[in-house]
Amino acid sequence: MTGVPIGNVVWHVEIGNNFYATSANGKASRVLSVLISGEGSLSTSGKIENGQMAPTYFSSSIFDEDGKTELQVIFAAGISKELVIQEPPRKHKLIPLSDADRRGATDPLSAMLISVNARDGAMESANCNRILPIFDGRRRYNLVLTYKRMDNVKNDHGYSGPVLVCGAILQPIGGYRADSMIVKYVAGKSDIEFWFVPIMGTSVMAPIRMIVPTLIGTLKIQADQFEAVALSALDFPQPSASPR
């Protein structure tokens, strides 16, 4: 943030012919760890249907200044249903969620794996123009993506080449504090950016950089390593039944 490293995130994605699995973990560090405590992990598994990521199970375990929160979300028949394993006492009133809000949503990891229009190719502007309906077990929001420009990146550990830059607008829907200053500041702004590059050997793109304005400066999350490795079928995790 404003040129100062504040944390580290590791994100793994495994893609098969008709299923996928992805996980991420991260921790606040250096300057940010003095201001807040924060670390956590996310994981998702799901199917690939008509070229689209369709999650079946999502879990998160987050520890921050409020305490530890563990959530699971089951996706079935187009509806997402959360299960709270553990959470600290709520200190603030949250904007409620309806059953309609839970319909048609995806998890935050799957949402960032956007499918490429095979006819147009990875770097076509049309790949940006989409709405990502996201539910993380607590918060429901849309990210409205639109084409912004083309750019290039050079990465000493992995991908170097053209980048598709999508502008993003946050549309909060529910599960937020009604008085959240951060949401009020970020929501509706058009200067959020996601920089997408193709995952070689697939028809999927993933972000290599994200830029978000905040109340105390510009947050930039950037991959210092972005590698795609071909795996045999035996290397992929087999999908398991959803927990009951």
What's the confidence (pLDDT) of residue 40? 87
Rounded to an integer, what distance in angstroms lies between the CA atom of residue 221 and that of residue 113? 16
Residue pLDDT, tens place only, 42-69? 999 999 988 889 999 999 998 877 788 8
What pairs with residue 71 in β-bridges?
Answer: 60, 84
Domain boundaries, the chain: 7-235
| Residue 31 and residue 47 in contact, taking contact as beta carbons nearer than 8 Å | no
**Confidence at residue 27, expressed as pLDDT on a 0 to 100 scale:** 83
Residue ranges of the chain with per-residue pLDDT less than 50: 31-36, 233-234, 236-244
pLDDT at 3: 58
- Find the angle CA(21)-CA(225)-CA(182) to the nearest 5 degrees: 75
CB 150 within 8 A of CB 166: no
Query: Helix (H, G, I), strand (E, B), or coil: what is residue 126?
Result: helix
